[in-house]
Structure 1
């Protein structure tokens, strides 16, 4: 049985809802943490609705926030608990995505996933395993989990942009080329951007690159 995810929403600036961006937050944060990015993005994406669910569980490492699944080296959980938690969160998130797209009247082809850290791990796991292809995936500061399974389990191959700070001390920067290599080998269109001098966060240059990618994948002329 899936858990219903609490969610925040920012309406499209124009009132014409033709596309959807789903933000997936990191470990110990919440949906509101990323929904603030909708303000600068919506100036250039006026027909886009932005939503940001909270992950399904309160975070063991930070009870004020949420987690998609436990992380053993942070919270002392077992590898089995982490794997089980992730698989349950995948079901929860897929159900949320389906319901949200139906509510907003859009399809995968008009939907972009934007993940940060653990949210990126979720986005890179879920998107390839759905039958219908998303318009794109923006993957900030995360990792591709179980890359060895990707080639065999991928059902769709949306374009992916990997964006990572070269000073990240939470998710090592090497995670970016590792993910890129696995995605390319599996046949995904992959792009990358390194945020120079940036730690575990989203710098203005990274957000700008993400905006250009989103516009391109949605077929928009952002000028």
Structure 2
């Protein structure tokens, strides 16, 4: 598979975790790779890759997953669905390259990248076990959820692009369906990722989801109920 990407970290030994990052509209994988560097010291055994959108948009190296020109509440889901097979194939590609499965995979997206990450596990719940969505939303709210996926919504309180209300609605929908979700609001932050956002994300990956849960698929074991109590 050929797609734009930037490898933030590739451990010498076989990777134990797979962290895939997805940027917003008009951005590129190298730029999104900068937030990815925050994860490297905490997860030295992780393969960390920033993946570029499937479509060019404007002057290079700007990329996107779907066009936002003329996008509406009525047509957003259709645009997401049209490109979703490519997104899912891209995730599967990196899982194959790393030798890791969904339980060791985290999808980390900002803005449109967060939309695609959230929508991907709505479409294919076994794609990954964790999603971190910075300033994102669903194209349309999910109708079912599973605790096999842990979703962390991190949103700027003053976001004028994707309003906080969308993240609140997503949290409420997932909770009502029995899903595993957290929502952290970063006060005073607009449509961006800042140090506070990154620290929240790192804390969730390190503590809300225990590290052994990342490693478990490699050992051939299955997390026990008392081992994953922090997820509940």
TM over 0.5: yes
Task: List aligned pairs for 1:148-187, cutoff 5 A.
Answer: 150-152=142-144, 157-187=148-178
Taking the aligned partners of 2:126 and 2:149, their CA distance within structure 1 comes to 9
Q: Deviations over 1:10-56 (max 9, x none)?
A: 23456441001010111111112211122222111111111111111
Taking the aligned partners of 1:207 and 1:49, their CA distance within structure 2 comes to 18
Task: List aligned pairs for 1:39-118, cutoff 5 A.
Answer: 39-59=37-57, 62-64=58-60, 65-71=62-68, 75-76=69-70, 83-118=77-112
Query: Shift in Å at residue 99 of structure 1?
Result: 1.2
Change (3 A) 1:13 1:104: closer
Query: Shift in Å at residue 219 of structure 1?
Result: 1.9
The residue aligned with 2:26 is 28
Change (3 A) 1:203 1:79: closer
Q: Deviations over 1:37-78 (max 9, x none)?
A: 22222111111111111111112xx4431111112xxx2368
Change (3 A) 1:76 1:192: closer
Q: 1:4, 1:96 within 8 Å by CA — same for their partners in 2?
A: no
1:8 pairs, out of 6, 13, 36, with: 6
Query: Shift in Å at residue 220 of structure 1?
Result: 5.0
Residues paired across the two proteins, number: 211
Taking the aligned partners of 1:80 and 1:53, their CA distance within structure 2 comes to 27
Change (3 A) 1:116 1:40: same
Structure 1 residue runs without a partner (length 5+): none
Q: If the length of structure 2 is used for normalisation, what is the TM-score?
A: 0.82
Q: 1:116, 1:139 within 8 Å by CA — same for their partners in 2?
A: yes
Taking the aligned partners of 2:18 and 2:177, their CA distance within structure 1 comes to 26
The residue aligned with 1:143 is 137
The residue aligned with 1:215 is 206
Q: If the length of structure 1 is used for normalisation, what is the TM-score?
A: 0.85
Change (3 A) 1:29 1:218: farther
The DSSP-based 3-state class of the residue aligned with 1:193 is strand
Change (3 A) 1:178 1:84: closer
Q: 1:157, 1:187 within 8 Å by CA — same for their partners in 2?
A: no
Taking the aligned partners of 2:111 and 2:71, their CA distance within structure 1 comes to 19
